[in-house]
Structure 1
């Protein structure tokens, strides 16, 4: 072999870290050059342009398709992996894909959980998978399958006279050293990206409320309007049409103590219990409790509700502090 092919490796990231590293090592072991955007975060337009350039400069495009479709590019409505696949085809790059077998995906889900499967856009994932399988592609179940597929596919591409290759082995005595350094850098990049992903997941988990973010719930509560009857115990809210968010924040102390649907409840408590609370229960901001020895129930702030209130108070504090500095 007298030419080294540059292979652009494309995949979703969090579900295929190990498979991607196996692919990179297999490409290097075959004597070729892997390329990929290990540290790039989806969604940055300048990064998309850089990815285009890398694909343009590569000889071959390789896709590893697991169980996820990936983050959506707002411009195209497709995932970034799907966008890369289409772009490589558009510019005429030889493409081959390795696709996880369904039983292997099931085993992976059992081992790693549902984070390795597509939950937000399952229809788009299935359509993309169907498209990929209609082109040059092979299935994989384990690392051995990935290695064999890469070796065989690249062996075929070595005979493609239209591919010029990245560099000739005859002209570079230090090529093996360069390849090994490249592998080391890629491994370090993968580890760094993994740490970044883990940190982002930890930050995200702090903000999540059963799958919803603080901002998502707040936006919904602000948009949800509820007419309030003229009840004196509701104070300034009485007779107004207010957002659910305003009602929740204003009456948070009521819910903190707890509202019981016993015979002594006043009209304000009845309104909060039967009209307002069901909307907040839907997001687990409140919880129902059975009062021991009684037939009535108590509704009060849940742990999620307390966290939501705390995040709101901190947000308000930061805004006030910012205004004071100005």
Structure 2
């Protein structure tokens, strides 16, 4: 839906009547809404409060700067035009300025006389003009330049999604429909979020071992050292100690098949008394009765833990 922006037009008045009229026409022809103090009565509020209200309710602030500084506001010591420009900035309104060029001002003086120039507050005018020139602005020589500058600037502001604007009554029905669609999408999004949280919780629990996370258990087994008796292993294990993690990995095949408690094999007996109790505590190994024998083998958690270790090792080698 097309939004209509309310544009507050600020300028001195008597010297820029034609320019302001051209600006109002340009804003209207661009499909937007002009606003300025000469279009409204002040009502019961003070003039400044009324100006604030209209700037607050406008989407864009536009300044037309000629050769005059304007009537001074006794409270701030600034002209009303200068004060409006500063107030629009404090409100966070996007501002654009159209400034008369020097040649056009000279021609205006020849045509209208010295009243179109600032004489009483010239320093304040120059300071204000310097401030305006320090921002992005456009220059005009005649009415056509003003209209073109407004068309170009408003086209850019129309693209700004942060500007609310006004919506035609014909579009209100569609607006309500979109609002309802957004509400439905929001509810669906919240439902999906809850499902994701439930799935994440399930995944987290699936990677827990007797209440401990995979990382916690891995760290513990890696830090748990087991003393090695001399030449119990025939492979390349060296040193007097081995971590429970490394011993678990080396004996994973034994636990996967399972071994009987009464096995007289020396390595199996060592593993049974030094490693198996640790693994039983974390539920990685389970004790089963097979006939009259007792068998120890990997539990479901143990298989899952070994598989995760192997995948981590594989990914680190890639």
Cα distance, 1:114–1:146 mapped onto 2, change above 3 Å: same
1:11-30 matched pairs, under 5 angstroms: 11-30=11-30
Displacement of 1:171 in angstroms is: 2.6
Larger Cα Rg: Structure 1 or Structure 2?
2
Question: What's the secondary structure of 1:18's corresponding residue?
Answer: helix
Contact 1:3 1:169 (8 Å CA) reproduced = no
Give the aligned partner of residue 218 of structure 1: none
Q: Give per-residue Cα distances to partners, 1:205-229, cap 9 Å, x unaligned.
A: xxxxxxxxxxxxxxxxxxxxxxxxx
Question: What's the secondary structure of 2:15's corresponding residue?
Answer: coil
Question: What's the secondary structure of 2:7's corresponding residue?
Answer: strand
Cα distance, 1:30–1:24 mapped onto 2, change above 3 Å: same
> What CA distance in whole angstroms lies between the structure 1 residues aligned with 2:36 and 2:135?
22
Give the aligned partner of residue 151 of structure 1: 151
Question: What's the secondary structure of 1:63's corresponding residue?
Answer: strand
Give the aligned partner of residue 90 of structure 2: 90
> What CA distance in whole angstroms lies between the structure 2 residues aligned with 1:79 and 1:98?
18
> What CA distance in whole angstroms lies between the structure 1 residues aligned with 2:169 and 2:134?
35
Contact 1:4 1:169 (8 Å CA) reproduced = no
> What CA distance in whole angstroms lies between the structure 2 residues aligned with 1:13 and 1:159?
31
Question: What's the secondary structure of 1:31's corresponding residue?
Answer: coil
Give the aligned partner of residue 130 of structure 2: 130
Give the aligned partner of residue 194 of structure 2: none
> What CA distance in whole angstroms lies between the structure 1 residues aligned with 2:53 and 2:76?
18
1:5-154 matched pairs, under 5 angstroms: 5-38=5-38, 46-154=46-154
Contact 1:40 1:47 (8 Å CA) reproduced = no
Displacement of 1:139 in angstroms is: 0.5
> What CA distance in whole angstroms lies between the structure 2 residues aligned with 1:114 and 1:41?
30
> What CA distance in whole angstroms lies between the structure 2 residues aligned with 1:149 and 1:169?
29
TM-score when scaled to structure 1? 0.50
1:272-311 matched pairs, under 5 angstroms: none
> What CA distance in whole angstroms lies between the structure 2 residues aligned with 1:169 and 1:2?
11
> What CA distance in whole angstroms lies between the structure 2 residues aligned with 1:90 and 1:27?
24
Q: Give per-residue Cα distances to partners, 1:225-274, cap 9 Å, x unaligned.
A: xxxxxxxxxxxxxxxxxxxxxxxxxxxxxxxxxxxxxxxxxxxxxxxxxx
TM-score when scaled to structure 2? 0.52
> What CA distance in whole angstroms lies between the structure 2 residues aligned with 1:164 and 1:25?
22
1:158-169 matched pairs, under 5 angstroms: 158-168=158-168
Unaligned runs of 5+ in 1: 173-326
Contact 1:118 1:125 (8 Å CA) reproduced = yes
Q: Give per-residue Cα distances to partners, 1:7-33, cap 9 Å, x unaligned.
A: 000000000000000000000000000
Cα distance, 1:39–1:161 mapped onto 2, change above 3 Å: closer
Contact 1:26 1:151 (8 Å CA) reproduced = yes
> What CA distance in whole angstroms lies between the structure 2 residues aligned with 1:40 and 1:71?
18
Question: What's the secondary structure of 2:3's corresponding residue?
Answer: coil
Cα distance, 1:94–1:117 mapped onto 2, change above 3 Å: same
Contact 1:71 1:79 (8 Å CA) reproduced = yes
> What CA distance in whole angstroms lies between the structure 2 residues aligned with 1:41 and 1:164?
25
CA RMSD in angstroms, aligned pairs only: 2.1
Give the aligned partner of residue 324 of structure 1: none
Give the aligned partner of residue 267 of structure 1: none
Is 1:171 matched up with 2:151? no
Give the aligned partner of residue 247 of structure 2: none
Query: Number of matched residues?
Result: 172
